[in-house]
Amino acid sequence: MNSAAPRILGIVNITSDSFSDGGRFLAPEAAIAQALKLARDGADIVDLGPASSNPDAAPVSAEEEIARLAPVLDRLLAEGIEVSVDSYRPETQAYALKRGVAWLNDIKGFPDAGLYPAIAEADCGLILMHSVQEGQADRRAAPDGDIMGHVCRFFEARLAALEAAGIARSRIVLDPGMGFFLGAAPETSFSMLARLGELKGRFGLPVLISVSRKSFLRAVTGRGAGEAGAATLAAELIAAVNGADYIRTHEAAPLRDALAVWANVKDIARNR
């Protein structure tokens, strides 16, 4: 169990086709306004995504990603907001490093060794995400065997490569991936939520969980993405109780309030 409250990452999708809010924050002014709102609502970090990871989304070039990010980064960094850039493209990651962002978030787990020297020279945190697909064309593919074994083998290989390149292990946060990153079956994501303690015990590193509005929650509740707030919050609290150190979410305020309630209950139980 995580003794401290998880840090909150607020999601801003600067995209036209994200599954839950595509197009709402594509304009720089809208993205900036949403990022500032998330920060006011309790997000410790704002996670900017310039391209959708939706399996059906159109590809976005690195040049377009950078064009979407630039005006938003200008404002947020000037405001002193802690920013994460969510991109697997090395060119976009290199741009983000030059801008001095606090975090890089890579849904492919930093596979490009060509960027390792630049990452090693930087001091930003790295969100190392697992995906069962690993570049397969069918991004809804299901893994073979035990999901925890698959996730752990992935992290072992990536951590070894990063550490061999001189990238400190202490900079890394592990994200096991949720929803289609673990395959189409909802029970796989629920299993990972239930077994977070195993993952933390195996690697001794902080863990990030991102379940907000995802398909496995919608599958068991019958809700659409815009109606998945209650299911999202329930899953996020389960993640917190099971040891998540970071939670990535579309709505910071409900999660902040729920974590405050949980913290008070923990304090009373601890002091009895």
Of residues 181 and 126, more confidence is placed in 126
Q: Is the pLDDT of residue 137 over 50?
A: no
Query: Which residue is catalytic, options 89, 214, 223, 266?
Result: 214
What digits encode the pLDDT tens for the residues 220-233? 999 988 899 999 99
Q: Kindly list the structural domains of the chain, giving each domain's residue range(s) and its CATH number in brackets, ordered by start.
A: 7-271 (3.20.20.20)
- Please say if 98 is a catalytic residue: no
**Interior angle at CA 121, CA 119 and CA 124, nearest 5:** 60
Cα–Cα nearest to 35, from 88, 72, 89: 72
Of residues 10 and 141, more confidence is placed in 10
What is the structure's pLDDT at 59? Answer: 86
pTM as predicted: 0.93
- Please say if 266 is a catalytic residue: no
Query: Which residue is catalytic, options 248, 256, 266, 272?
Result: 248
Helix (H, G, I), strand (E, B) or coil at 199: helix
What digits encode the pLDDT tens for the residues 82-108? 999 999 999 999 999 999 999 999 999
Can you spell out the DSSP letters for 30-93? HHHHHHHHHHHTT-SEEEEESS---TTPPP--HHHHHHHHHHHHHHHHHTT--EEEE---HHHH
